[in-house]
Structure 1
Amino acid sequence: MFQTLAREIQLCYGFVRRDLGTGLLPVPGFTLASLLYRKASGEEMIPAIGHAFLYGFLYLYTFVVSNQITGVHEDKVNKPDRPIASGAESVSAATIRYWTLTTLYLAYGYSLGVWEWALLWIVTTIAHNPLGFSNFGPTKDLCMGLGCIAQLKAAWALGGSPPQMGWEWIKIITLYMLWPIPLQDLRDVPGDLAAGRRTTPILLGDVPARVYISAGIIVSQFLLIKYRILEYRYDTSTLALSAALVLMTAGCIFRLFAFRSLTSDRFSYWLYTVIYVFQPLSAAITLR
């Protein structure tokens, strides 16, 4: 029993470990923003944040299992330590895992009253992975934008605030996920070429892709800082918050051009995900 549990924990970690930042953490972060916006009590916050963590985990877990089922050949080049690529889990076993997790995810979303956003993510996952939308840059990027909407709309609803204010933030955060998301593909170009994919960096070429990504980061963060953070609350906390976002943005863009290697691009993508996670937390600080 203990060995089975230990193996399951190891497999689960192997599936999700690279994507915990973008897949899990924005859900409780944006749920917290929703709770603070409506001045929820501490007694309300604890269970809501707990639900948000579990929902975010299932959101992430369903996607990464599906993604790794359809991306075995790429993973053998780019990420050979993943469970399926390494041989720790078979494709057939992972398929059973995916459908079990998806059923649990949809049922849990239904119980929380966010089933429509869970369903949107399931449909997006199917389009991105088995239907092959991830093989072409524009459709892959669109799926990531839809995934951001599904993730954050559910998170805001779990906090119980009216949807309008949440949507005002989600629109800009989604722009950050939709436009500069090809940054994640810079680190995977060798594997994508081997798999025959045409991601945005492959379609545009290396330097134009870096310009395109940088423009998306700059525009989205300018809109977030000017029209969401500082327009709603102008005080020491939001000025410090804005300064932190500016520094991270500048650092990410500097790295994109100063250190152009697969190793550096992996770190730049990590910084990009830190900025993404920081944005729901920015909403929590601003809307408190």
Structure 2
Amino acid sequence: MLQIVFRELKLCYGFVRRDLGTGLLPVPVFTLASLLYRNASKEEMVPAIANAFLYGFLYLYTFVVSNQITGVQEDRVNKPDRPIASGAESVSAAQIRYWTLTALYLAHGYTLGVGEWALLWVITTIAHNPLGFSNLGPTKDLCMGLGCIAQLKAAWGIGGSPPAMGWEWIKVITLYMLWPIPLQDLRDVPGDLAVGRRTTPILLGDMPARIYIAAGIIVSQFLLIKYRILEYRYDRSTIALSVALVLMTIGCIFRLFAFRSLTSDRFSYWLYTVIYVFQPLSACITLR
């Protein structure tokens, strides 16, 4: 029994470990922002955050399993340690895992009152993976933008605040996910070429893609800092927060152009995901 549990935990970690930052963490963090905005009691916060963690985990887990079912050939080039690519999990077993997780995810979203956003994510996942929207840059990037909306709208709803303020933040954060998201594809160009994908970096070429990504990071962070953070609250905490975001933005853009290799692009994408998680955290600090 212990061996079965250990194997399951190992497989689970193998599926989700690369995407915990963008897939899981923003949900409980943005839920906390919603709770703080409406001055929720501590007694309300504990179960809400726990439910948000479970929702975020299922949000991530359903997607990565589906993604890895349809991306075995690419993973054998770019990420051969993943469960299916490495042979630790068969495709048929992974399909059973996906549909089981999807049913749990939809049920949990329904009980939390965010069923429509859970459904949007399931539809987006199907479009991105089995329907092949991920094979073309513009449609792949659009799916990531829709996924951001589904993720953060659900998180805000779990926190129980009126949707208007949440949507003001989500629009700007979604721009960051929609526009510069091709940064994740810079590190996967060899595998994408091997399977015939035409991601944004392949369509634009390396240097134009880096300029496009940098522009998206700059515009989205300018809008976030000026019109969401400092316009709502101007004090030491938000000034320090804004400085931190500016420094991370500069660091990410500098790396994009100064270190152009697959290894460096992996680290640049990691920094990009840190900035993404920092944006719901910014809402917590600003809306408290």
Q: Calculate the TM-score normalised by the size of structure 1.
A: 1.00
1:173 to 2:164 alignment: no
The runs of 4+ residues in structure 1 deviating greater than 3 Å are none
Counterpart of 1:227, as a letter, is Y
Who is 1:132 aligned against?
132
Who is 1:24 aligned against?
24
Measure, in 2, the Cα distance between the counterparts of 1:135 and 1:5: 35
Shift of 1:205: 0.1
Measure, in 2, the Cα distance between the counterparts of 1:264 and 1:80: 19
Measure, in 2, the Cα distance between the counterparts of 1:174 and 1:248: 18
Counterpart of 1:97, as a letter, is R
Counterpart of 1:12, as a letter, is C
Shift of 1:235: 0.1
Shift of 1:58: 0.1
Alignment of 1:197-212 (within 5 A): 197-212=197-212
Counterpart of 1:18, as a letter, is R
Shift of 1:111: 0.6
Shift of 1:125: 0.0
Who is 2:154 aligned against?
154
Instruction: State the number of aligned residues.
Output: 288
Shift of 1:4: 0.3
Measure, in 2, the Cα distance between the counterparts of 1:121 and 1:215: 27
Shift of 1:211: 0.1
- Tell me the SS of whatever aligns to 1:197: coil
Measure, in 1, the Cα distance between the counterparts of 2:228 and 2:142: 23
- Tell me the SS of whatever aligns to 1:89: coil
Q: CA RMSD in A?
A: 0.2
Who is 1:90 aligned against?
90
Who is 1:263 aligned against?
263
Alignment of 1:203-282 (within 5 A): 203-282=203-282
- What do the CA deviations read for 1:15-69 (whole angstroms, capped 9, x no partner)? 0000000000000000000000000010100000000000000000000000000
Measure, in 2, the Cα distance between the counterparts of 1:144 and 1:268: 18
Measure, in 2, the Cα distance between the counterparts of 1:278 and 1:53: 17
Counterpart of 1:55, as a letter, is Y
Who is 1:35 aligned against?
35
Counterpart of 1:38, as a letter, is R
State the identity %: 88
Alignment of 1:99-110 (within 5 A): 99-110=99-110
Measure, in 2, the Cα distance between the counterparts of 1:101 and 1:54: 12
Who is 2:57 aligned against?
57
Counterpart of 1:124, as a letter, is T
Q: Calculate the TM-score normalised by the size of structure 2.
A: 1.00
- What do the CA deviations read for 1:186-238 (whole angstroms, capped 9, x no partner)? 00000000010000000000000000000000000000000000000000000
Measure, in 2, the Cα distance between the counterparts of 1:166 and 1:112: 17
Measure, in 2, the Cα distance between the counterparts of 1:36 and 1:280: 12
Who is 1:142 aligned against?
142
- Tell me the SS of whatever aligns to 1:232: coil
- Tell me the SS of whatever aligns to 2:260: coil
Flag structure 1 segments of 5+ consecutive residues without an equivalent.
none
Shift of 1:91: 0.3
Who is 2:285 aligned against?
285
Who is 2:44 aligned against?
44
Shift of 1:157: 0.3
Shift of 1:9: 0.2
